[in-house]
């Protein structure tokens, strides 16, 4: 701060001793020390408050940036979700269109190749147990459901 060397301090001490005298010099030194300590304490207080304010501003700026990043990520997720929904809807339309077209163009001979076995004793098993499919060379497709309940939980169904 100040470029005061030992020689300048020595000259000030000699002048103070001459002006104040040996009786009042210790009181003046204590008084000067008190004011220097108060000034330093005030300076450190102001400095710490300023640093705290700067840190608070930095945190607020960082928080605003994080919020903006989260908003951007949310918008990207919303857009990608919309794109995924549109893609799934498009895929469903593509899948449904050939099935509907094949069903209307199906001949009675192709419809007769599909056989369905049902059990009149158990209405819960109305699903086919084996199906022959024309796309698989007329081979019977097995039913993968168990015929007997495997666990006590299956009996409750």
What is the per-residue pLDDT across 25-43, written as a single tens digit (0 to 9) for each? 889 889 989 999 999 999 9
Question: What is the rounded average pLDDT of the residues 19-24?
Answer: 88
145 CB contacts (<8 Å, ≥6 apart)?
125, 127
- Residue 85 reports pLDDT greater than 80: yes
Distance of CA 14 to the CA centre of its chain: 70
At residue 64, the pLDDT reads: 96
Q: Please report which confidence band the pLDDT of residue 124 belongs to, taking 50, 70 and 90 as the band edges.
A: very low
Give residue-wise pLDDT tens across range 128-156: 445 555 555 555 555 555 556 556 555 55
Task: Please give the structure tokens belonging to residue 87.
Answer: 């893609």
Whole-angstrom distance, CA of residue 22 vs CA of residue 13: 11
Q: Residue 141 belongs to what H/E stretch?
A: strand 140-142
- Residue 156's φ and ψ, nearest 5 degrees, are -75, -20
The label of the residue with tokens 């857009």 reads 79
Comparing 18-27, 65-74, 80-89, the range with the smallest average pLDDT is 18-27
Task: Please give the structure tokens belonging to residue 154.
Answer: 């299956």
At residue 119, the pLDDT reads: 44
The answer to whether 123 and 131 are in contact (CB under 8 A) is: no
- Residue 58 reports pLDDT greater than 80: yes
At residue 98, the pLDDT reads: 63
Task: Please give the structure tokens belonging to residue 35.
Answer: 């004011």
How many other C-beta atoms can be found within 10 angstroms of the C-beta atom of residue 132?
A: 15
Average pLDDT of the chain to the nearest whole number = 76
Give residue-wise pLDDT tens across range 62-78: 999 999 999 999 999 99
- Residue 86 reports pLDDT greater than 80: yes
What stretches of 106-140 show up as alpha helix (H) in DSSP?
108-112
The answer to whether 130 and 142 are in contact (CB under 8 A) is: yes
């Amino acid at each position: 701060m100040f470029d005061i060397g030992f020689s300048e301090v020595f000259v000030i001490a000699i002048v103070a001793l001459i002006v104040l005298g040996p009786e009042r010099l210790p009181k003046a030194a204590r008084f000067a020390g008190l004011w220097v300590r108060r000034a330093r304490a005030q300076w450190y207080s102001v400095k710490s408050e300023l640093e705290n304010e700067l840190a608070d501003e930095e945190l607020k700026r960082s928080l605003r940036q994080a919020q903006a990043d989260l908003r951007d990520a949310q918008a990207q997720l919303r857009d990608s979700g919309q794109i995924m929904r549109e893609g799934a809807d498009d895929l469903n339309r593509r899948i449904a269109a050939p099935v509907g077209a094949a069903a209307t163009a199906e001949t009675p001979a192709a419809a007769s190749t599909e056989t369905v076995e049902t059990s009149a004793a158990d209405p819960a098993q109305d699903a086919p147990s084996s199906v022959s499919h024309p796309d698989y060379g007329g081979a019977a497709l097995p039913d993968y459901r168990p015929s007997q309940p495997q666990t006590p939980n299956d009996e409750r169904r």
